[in-house]
Amino acid sequence: MVLVLAIGDLHIPHRAADLPPKFKSMLVPGKIQHIICTGNLCIKEVHDYLKSLCPDLHITRGEYDEDSRYPETKTLTIGQFKLGICHGHQVIPWGDLDSLAMLQRQLDVDILIAGHTHQFKAYKHEGGVVINPGSATGAYSSFTYDVNPSFVLMDIDGLRVVVYVYELIDGEVKVDKIDFKKTATTRS
Amino acid sequence: MSPAAIERPMLESACSKSSDESRRSFANLRGVQWRTDLGILPPLSSSTIDDLRKVTADSRRRYACLRRHLLVDPHLPKDGSNSPNLAIDNPLSQNPDSTWGRFFRNAELEKTVDQDLSRLYPEHGNYFQSTGCQGMLRRILLLWCLRHPEYGYRQGMHELLAPLLYVLHVDVERLSEVRKEYEDHFTDKFDGLSFQENDLRYNFDFKKYLDSMEDEIGSHGNATKVRSLDELDPEIQTIVLLSDAYGAEGELGIVLSEKFMEHDAYCMFDALMNGAHGAVAMADFFSPSPVGGSHSGLPPVIEASAALYHLLSVVDSSLHSHLVELGVEPQYFALRWLRVLFGREFSLENLLLIWDEIFAADKNKLEKGAGDDTGSTFGIFSSPQGALISAFAVSMILYLRSSLLSTENATICLQRLLKFPENIDLRKLIGKAKSLQALALGPSISSSSPRCGGAYNHSKSMVVRSHTLPSDSISPKTPLNMVPDSYWEEKWRVLHKAAEQRNGSSGKQNPTPKKGWTEKVRLSLSRTASDPSPAKAGCGNDHKPSVRRRLLEDLSQELGLDEDTEKAGCDEVSGQKDHICKVVEVENQDGVNNDFTCVAEERCLSGIAGSEENSSLFSDPSSPLSGANNHENDSEKSSVASNSSIDETDDHPEANHEDTTLPVSHLPNNATLNSGDNNEATGKSLAVPKERKLLSGKFQWFWKFGRSNDGEETSEKGNGALDVTKSANDAGSQSSTVCSSVDGSCYSSTTGDLVDQNMMGSLRNLGHSMLEHIQVIESVFQQDRVQVGSSDNFSKNVLVGKGQVTAMTALKELRKISNLLSEM
């Protein structure tokens, strides 16, 4: 019953002022055990805010991040799952599933979390799961202005992960849920 | 096995002590015995084994149901819906109804419970700190608290639960021992025939030991019985009967079952807390608010603590009075004793013996005698069980009698009470408790009991007089139904009552010490008044602040004569006056126009006058005073002051009558408003009001009271008139605050005595103030005659005008007082 928040591409203060208030009201400290951040926060204040939600914060470097000490990629293990994080601008073509799958195999993880496209995506392929949490502030991306704010909450429980997607569409928070089960033995 | 080994000798001794055979049929099985006592199981004498099993099974089913219902797993979909409404049921949902919300709330509760559980019985840690046991305890507590949200989880509940679970655990261990010894009776007889055929040895045993128990339960129709059940010890019999897996209700009905320990412990805990069938409800001891039906408005645990002391006073009045004099209130130690039923005072083994006695006591509420209409105000005495609990506590106190009487220090007393000695003769304690129980239940207790509140005020007034614990005398002494009041209100009430007593006792003494330094005032003031020209400003101004300072110092000394509790207040009061002095001095030193400063001082005083009147407006909002303010000052500058005071008048009626700090803070404000050039002074005095706002109304009340007493003696000269003005208004406001405080204290005092005291005190004060007003009027008329022919300093004209007006105000005050008196 581990709740992991996947969030990224906030681009505060360059492209957006703050998280949408409805999102902010939902993100209260005490419920979430880990935060995974794909990058492009961009400033330290946002880092501190995320740290206040949960002390266990994992973050990778996006191209506009002002703190250059974040790593390019990161891996961690939560429960039975191995998770990998990367911002995604390094993977070309941006957002391409095959390239991301290549990265996933490289990092040897079950769940890869990458961003940069500002579009929510969740792919399942035999290797594992690729999740793109989108942009939590709805900041414009390199190729489109039409971005819905979104983030992802994963509920990791044993061999099963439930992915809750929170999107702000027309001012309302819409929640969606996707179930993934890890096949136990194949990947060690 | 060690806990069982310790148990054995204890159990046997318990057996020997018992008198009631039928109740002791389960003597060695505490779990069953306690369950019977708590009312979960019907007594064996009036029911069969099957009934017991049925009841057990039912209670276990209930618990299982509760558990399924309340322990939330958010992953499982809600009943019936396969696609839950995700907008509500997502983990981050703020909706309180969502399963996730409940899950998180339960997690919070669990965290609180865990804090206590991790520290439970570390000396028996091998059982209590094992994960299985901790898990069970946690679940039980969680479910009980969810079931009873009005109580929530309080520290101490875990200590009540732990021995219950322990006792069940011991029973199960006993069962496994018996199983080992008497294997045969427990073995399945399914293959009975085959055993007989195959195993000669067994065959032989079977022929030897007839097992008639099988026939009774009727599970098998085995022909050969090896041993009749009667040949076994009765206790073994019962153990076997209770644990047979094929009896009524099958496995669920096995009364001594390891699998269902949690269920049984929950039932016991529930019965204990709820006080099933009339027993003392432990849950009451955890509730902070008075239970309906209590005679006094006190929380039950406080009431029970007072009951303890009452019983102690009947039994051993010298010890009781000793403790009361030291200020050792019963709830300091009795809270822990009662809430955990002495769990923290004794070792686990002794505690089990004590609880044996307590649970075995008769739970039924006694019928009240016909002539006993006041009734016992202590709910705990209404049943023998409650009486035994309080009697046991009293016997504990008596056990420590010599060590308690030997010390005069309250802290050491408390330490001794809270650290009950280890090696004690428990039998003696229990025996004493039983004899006291009879006493507690007797008619003498209720007839000789003062009302609960009376006992409270008794101790409170005693402490107020004795000064032994100055730091404690305020907060624990006030009856607890006043606890919700703000801290400052409470202090004000306490000090007010103290002041009433002081007034009553030393009314005569007041004038004489004041005369001492009012003479000084008169001298210095006369000196200043004789130089009405700018020279006045020169030396008079020097004198005035010094005079005022002396006045204030003397006043602070006066107030310092009061009880210790007001020391802090006095320091603040005198400090406050020092500040005002400084403010005035600052103005003087800034070298402003002498007349200006002297007028400023007067205005300061007139501001005081205005603000005093304003404070009296709190309790009697009427407009004539503001009209008086308007007339007061002719000159421009003084009209500024009056406007400012009127502005404050507008603000004041909204203020709480208790919050009389505002007028105090306006004093420096007035003084500085008029000398707008002195920014520094303004700055300082603005800082001062902020401090003032922190002071409670009582300080100001005292200040006014003091000043009014001062002013009452001074008369004759111009400045004297100002003082008198002050006094008139002081007295007026004081009387009104006194009246309002009388009303307030009427609500709060619980005995007629205090109310009468307050009434007498307030009447006396009213009388005083009326006298003062009459004196004011007389003196004003005298001054008018004196000063009409004096110099033409415009300030003097102002004074004259003021004199007339103050006479009018004094008359109005007199009218108000008479109205109040007529209302009372």
Mean pLDDT comparison of B112-126, B282-296, B455-469, highest-scoring range: B112-126
Mean pLDDT comparison of A48-62, B157-171, B791-805, highest-scoring range: A48-62
Those residues of chain A whose CB sits closer than 8 Å to some CB in chain B are 3, 25-28, 30-31, 153, 155, 157, 162, 164, 166, 173-177
Q: Do A26 and B94 touch (CB under 8 A)?
A: yes
Q: Is the pLDDT of residue A159 over 80?
A: yes
Q: Which of B76, B86, B92, B111 to mutate to test the interface with A (most CBs of A within 10 A)?
A: B92
Q: Do A166 and B92 touch (CB under 8 A)?
A: yes
Contact yes or no for B327/B463 (Cβ under 8 A) = yes
Owner of token pair 């991301």:
A100
User: Minimal Cα distance from B101: which residue of A?
Assistant: A31
- Chain B positions in Cβ-Cβ contact with residue A162 (cut-off 8 Å): 75
Q: How far is A25 from chain B (nearest CA, A)?
A: 8
Q: How far is A111 from chain B (nearest CA, A)?
A: 20
Higher pLDDT, B93 or B723: B93
The predicted-structure confidence for B487-496, as pLDDT tens digits, reads as follows 666 666 677 6
User: Minimal Cα distance from B94: which residue of A?
Assistant: A26
Q: Centre a 10 Å sphere on the Cβ of residue B62 and count the other Cβ atoms it contains.
A: 14
Higher pLDDT, B257 or A71: A71
Sheet containing A120-125: which strands, arranged edge to edge?
A: A73-78, A81-86, A111-114, A128-133, A120-125
Tell me which residue of B656, B754, B654, B768 sits closest to B709, measured CA to CA: B768
Q: Is the pLDDT of residue A164 over 60?
A: yes
What is the pLDDT at residue B568?
41
Q: How far is A97 from chain B (nearest CA, A)?
A: 28
Q: Is the pLDDT of residue B81 over 90?
A: no
Q: How far is A121 from chain B (nearest CA, A)?
A: 19
Q: Do B92 and A164 touch (CB under 8 A)?
A: yes
At residue A156, φ and ψ (nearest 5 deg) are: -95, 120
CA B742 to chain centroid, in Å, comes to 23
**CB nearest B86 (choices: A27, A157, A177):** A177
Average pLDDT score over residue span B55-59: 83
- Chain B positions in Cβ-Cβ contact with residue A30 (cut-off 8 Å): 104
Q: Do B92 and A155 touch (CB under 8 A)?
A: no
Q: Centre a 10 Å sphere on the Cβ of residue B123 and count the other Cβ atoms it contains.
A: 8
Percent of chain A whose pLDDT exceeds 90: 60
Contact yes or no for A116/A128 (Cβ under 8 A) = no
> What is the rounded distance in angstroms from the CA atom of residue B572 to the CA atom of residue B569?
5
Average pLDDT score over residue span B680-688: 41
Q: Centre a 10 Å sphere on the Cβ of residue B679 and count the other Cβ atoms it contains.
A: 11
Exposure of B199 in the CB half-sphere (CA atoms within 13 A): 10
What is the pLDDT at residue B549?
52
User: Minimal Cα distance from A4: which residue of B?
Assistant: B91
Residue spans of the domains in chain A: they are 2-181
Give the number of A-B residue pairs with CB atoms closer than 8 Å: 32
User: Is B422 strand, coil or helix?
Assistant: coil
Listed in sequence order, the residues at least 6 apart from B177 whose beta carbon sits closer than 8 Å to its beta carbon are B1, B4
Burial of B588 (0-12, 13-18, 19+ CB in 10 A): buried
CATH topology of domain A2-181: Purple Acid Phosphatase; chain A, domain 2 (3.60.21)
How many angstroms separate the Cα of B375 from the Cα of each of A163, B279, B378, B655?
A: 66, 19, 9, 43
Tokens of B323: 């403790």
Q: Bridge partners of B577?
A: none
pTM, to two decimals: 0.54
**CB nearest B87 (choices: A27, A28, A175):** A175
User: Is B274 strand, coil or helix?
Assistant: helix
Q: Do A173 and B104 touch (CB under 8 A)?
A: no
Q: Is the pLDDT of residue A120 over 90?
A: yes
- Chain A positions in Cβ-Cβ contact with residue B91 (cut-off 8 Å): 3, 31, 153, 155, 164
How many angstroms separate the Cα of A105 from the Cα of each of A96, A97, B65?
A: 14, 12, 48
Q: How far is B136 from chain A (nearest CA, A)?
A: 21
Q: Do B104 and A31 touch (CB under 8 A)?
A: yes
Listed in sequence order, the residues at least 6 apart from B16 whose beta carbon sits closer than 8 Å to its beta carbon are none
The predicted-structure confidence for B411-422, as pLDDT tens digits, reads as follows 888 888 888 887
Those residues of chain B whose CB sits closer than 8 Å to some CB in chain A are 75, 86-87, 90-94, 104
Tell how strand A150-157 and strand A2-7 pair up: antiparallel
Tokens of B87: 């907008």
Average pLDDT score over residue span B516-532: 46
- Chain B positions in Cβ-Cβ contact with residue A27 (cut-off 8 Å): 92
> What is the rounded distance in angstroms from the CA atom of residue B805 to the CA atom of residue B784?
11
Q: Do A153 and B93 touch (CB under 8 A)?
A: no
Q: How far is B109 from chain A (nearest CA, A)?
A: 13
Percent of chain B whose pLDDT exceeds 90: 0
- What pLDDT band is residue A71 in, cutting at 50, 70 and 90? very high
Tokens of B213: 């128990």
What is the pLDDT at residue B150?
83
Contact yes or no for B655/B618 (Cβ under 8 A) = yes
Least confident of A22-31, A92-101, B225-234, B619-628: B619-628
Q: Bridge partners of A132?
A: A121
> What is the rounded distance in angstroms from the CA atom of residue B560 to the CA atom of residue B574?
10
User: Is B686 strand, coil or helix?
Assistant: helix
Burial of B52 (0-12, 13-18, 19+ CB in 10 A): buried
Which DSSP category does A12 fall into? Answer: B
- Chain B positions in Cβ-Cβ contact with residue A23 (cut-off 8 Å): none
Least confident of A139-148, B152-161, B199-208, B230-239: B199-208
Q: Do B86 and A164 touch (CB under 8 A)?
A: yes
- Chain B positions in Cβ-Cβ contact with residue A28 (cut-off 8 Å): 92
Q: Do B90 and A3 touch (CB under 8 A)?
A: no
Give me the amino acid identity at B809.
T
Q: Do A174 and B87 touch (CB under 8 A)?
A: yes
Q: Which element (helix H / strand E) includes B405?
A: helix B401-405
> What is the rounded distance in angstroms from the CA atom of residue B202 to the CA atom of residue B682?
107
Distance, first Cα to last Cα, chain B: 76
Contact yes or no for A168/A149 (Cβ under 8 A) = yes
What is the pLDDT at residue A106?
92
Least confident of A102-116, B75-89, B659-673, B767-781: B659-673
User: Is B107 strand, coil or helix?
Assistant: helix
What is the pLDDT at residue A130?
93
Average pLDDT score over residue span B156-181: 84
Average pLDDT score over residue span B44-62: 80
Tell me which residue of B717, B377, B709 sits closest to B523, measured CA to CA: B717
At residue A2, φ and ψ (nearest 5 deg) are: -105, 125
Sheet containing A57-59: which strands, arranged edge to edge?
A: A57-59, A34-37, A2-7, A150-157, A160-169, A172-181
Contact yes or no for B357/B253 (Cβ under 8 A) = no
User: Minimal Cα distance from A172: which residue of B?
Assistant: B87
> What is the rounded distance in angstroms from the CA atom of residue B677 to the CA atom of residue B664?
22
**DSSP 3-state helix, strand, coil percentages of chain B (rounded to 5)?**
75, 0, 25
CA B597 to chain centroid, in Å, comes to 52
**CB nearest A31 (choices: B75, B86, B91):** B91
Q: Do A176 and B86 touch (CB under 8 A)?
A: yes
Q: How far is B115 from chain A (nearest CA, A)?
A: 17
Q: Is the pLDDT of residue B768 over 60?
A: yes
> What is the rounded distance in angstroms from the CA atom of residue B384 to the CA atom of residue B356?
14
Q: Please state, rounded to an integer, the average pLDDT across all residues of chain A.
A: 89
Tell how strand A2-7 and strand A160-169 pair up: unpaired
What is the pLDDT at residue B167?
86
Q: Which of A31, A32, A34, A180 to mutate to test the interface with B (most CBs of B within 10 A)?
A: A31
At residue A3, φ and ψ (nearest 5 deg) are: -100, 125
- What pLDDT band is residue B773 in, cutting at 50, 70 and 90? confident
> What is the rounded distance in angstroms from the CA atom of residue A167 to the CA atom of residue A136?
9
- What pLDDT band is residue B719 in, cutting at 50, 70 and 90? very low
What is the pLDDT at residue B634?
42
- What pLDDT band is residue B565 in, cutting at 50, 70 and 90? very low
Least confident of A24-33, B134-143, B185-194: B185-194
Mean pLDDT comparison of A69-73, B551-555, B689-693, highest-scoring range: A69-73
Tokens of B758: 């307050």
- Chain A positions in Cβ-Cβ contact with residue B104 (cut-off 8 Å): 30-31
Percent of chain B whose pLDDT exceeds 70: 43
Label residues B212-243 b or e (16+ Cβ within 10 Å = b): ebbbeeebeebeebbbebeebeebbbbbbbbb
**CB nearest A157 (choices: B75, B87, B93):** B75
In chain B, how long is the greatest CA-to-CA distance? Answer: 140
Exposure of B155 in the CB half-sphere (CA atoms within 13 A): 11
**CB nearest A175 (choices: B75, B86, B104):** B86
What is the pLDDT at residue B307?
83
The predicted-structure confidence for B266-286, as pLDDT tens digits, reads as follows 888 888 888 766 667 777 777
Q: Bridge partners of A178?
A: A163
Burial of B729 (0-12, 13-18, 19+ CB in 10 A): buried
Tell how strand A150-157 and strand A160-169 pair up: antiparallel
